[in-house]
Chains A and B, each alone.
Chain A
Amino acid sequence: MSAIDEEVFSKVQSALVDALGVDDDEVTPEATMVGDLGAESIDFLDIVFKLEKAFSIKIPREELFPEDILTNANYIKDGKVAEAGLAELKKRMPWADLTKFENNPRVQDFGDLLTVGDLCRYVQSKL
């Protein structure tokens, strides 16, 4: 995983503090967006909007949320992401740390995968 640029982190942190009403110190690179910071689906719209403005980038929904992979029967087996699906996820999300998820890739756990660090690395990949 690439290192996180301090300036990127600081802008992402301020977007998350603003959008989620959390404190600065809660927004650590390891914090998960849903589990730790309490982000709900509408918050992701808000966060994407704020990041697009802060970094002057466009964030297509499917880049952050690969729902097409997670709902594709070729990639899913018994509620888990199969080998081919994991390969596709890694290709689509090279900025995300999927190590833990790979151990038990249940589709239902994917929603709480994204961390603040992942988000920073994603933004960096767009700059």
Chain B
Amino acid sequence: MRWFWIDRFDEFVRNEHAVTIKNVTFGEEPLDDYMMGHPHYPHSLVIEGMAQTGGLLVAEPSGFKKRVVLAKIGKAIFHRQALPGDQLRLQANIQDVQDSGAVVAGSVTINGELMADLELWFAFLDDRFGQGSLFPPAEFLRVLRVLRLYDVAVDSSGNRIAPPEEFLAAERAEFATG
């Protein structure tokens, strides 16, 4: 099953912030099932979307070598519901990065109106949790391209960011073998 709760990146500044867009449609399964007769986008999936936005923001500077997992939701305050047709703008700002984790402040708006205030804590998995990446590199890069991360990603000086070399090598190897 697909588990992507953001549609694409709109802004990405390494070590600083990222903005993603999520379009809510009536055609999505969670809206139908969540509350009969009153379709709205579950708040838990807004949190998951922010975790995906913030998690990629926190992992990118290490070339995605850091294995980042959502460890704690410090704050989740919702001010309104997201309805079919709404477009969510999820902004994640890095607050602090330490050796074993990071914290991101998130705000979600719909048409400029504040929908949610979030604070998410990410932990970096160490060797106790095995070794190796969480996702196959070529497949992961495909997802990042679909999300248009590298269309907008820049470093703090405004220089464009490219995918890690080993991801590109894995992608080339996949193309070569068909």
Q: Do A and B come from one complex?
A: yes
What 1/0 mask marks residues of chain B from 95 to 138 whose CB sits below 8 Å from any chain A CB?
A: 11011110100000000000000000101000000000000000
Partner among A18, A45, A61 whose Cβ is within 8 Å of the Cβ of B103? A45
Pairwise interchain contact B74-A46, C-beta atoms closer than 8 A: yes
Interfacial residues, chain B to chain A (CB-CB below 8 A): 71-72, 74, 95-96, 98-101, 103, 121, 123
Interfacial residues, chain A to chain B (CB-CB below 8 A): 18-19, 41-43, 45-46, 48-49, 52, 61
> Are A61 and B98 also in contact (CB < 8 A) when A42-B123, A45-B121, A49-B103 are?
yes
* A49: B residues at CB distance < 8 A: 95-96, 98, 103
**CA gap between A61 and B98 in the complex, in Å:** 9
* A42: B residues at CB distance < 8 A: 71-72, 101, 121, 123
* A48: B residues at CB distance < 8 A: 98
* A61: B residues at CB distance < 8 A: 98-100
Pairwise interchain contact A19-B98, C-beta atoms closer than 8 A: no
* Min distance, Cβ B80 to any Cβ of chain A, angstroms: 24
* Min distance, Cβ B158 to any Cβ of chain A, angstroms: 28
* B71: A residues at CB distance < 8 A: 42
Pairwise interchain contact A46-B98, C-beta atoms closer than 8 A: no
Chain A residue at minimum C-beta to C-beta distance from B100: A45
* Min distance, Cβ B50 to any Cβ of chain A, angstroms: 17
Chain A residue at minimum C-beta to C-beta distance from B75: A18
Chain B residue at minimum C-beta to C-beta distance from A52: B96
**CA gap between A91 and B98 in the complex, in Å:** 25
7 further interface pairs, Cβ-Cβ under 8 Å (given A19-B74, A42-B123, A48-B98): A41-B123, A42-B72, A42-B101, A43-B72, A45-B100, A45-B103, A45-B121
Chain A residue at minimum C-beta to C-beta distance from B72: A42
Pairwise interchain contact B101-A45, C-beta atoms closer than 8 A: yes
**CA gap between A27 and B101 in the complex, in Å:** 25
**CA gap between A46 and B72 in the complex, in Å:** 9
Which 10 residue pairs are nearest across A and B when measured between Cβ atoms?
A42-B71, A45-B101, A42-B72, A49-B96, A42-B123, A42-B121, A49-B103, A46-B121, A45-B98, A46-B74
**CA gap between A102 and B3 in the complex, in Å:** 50
Chain B residue at minimum C-beta to C-beta distance from A18: B74
* A45: B residues at CB distance < 8 A: 98, 100-101, 103, 121, 123
* Min distance, Cβ B174 to any Cβ of chain A, angstroms: 35
* B96: A residues at CB distance < 8 A: 49, 52
* A43: B residues at CB distance < 8 A: 72
**CA gap between A48 and B100 in the complex, in Å:** 12
**CA gap between A10 and B74 in the complex, in Å:** 20
* B121: A residues at CB distance < 8 A: 42, 45-46
**CA gap between A46 and B121 in the complex, in Å:** 8
**CA gap between A19 and B72 in the complex, in Å:** 10
**CA gap between A32 and B98 in the complex, in Å:** 24
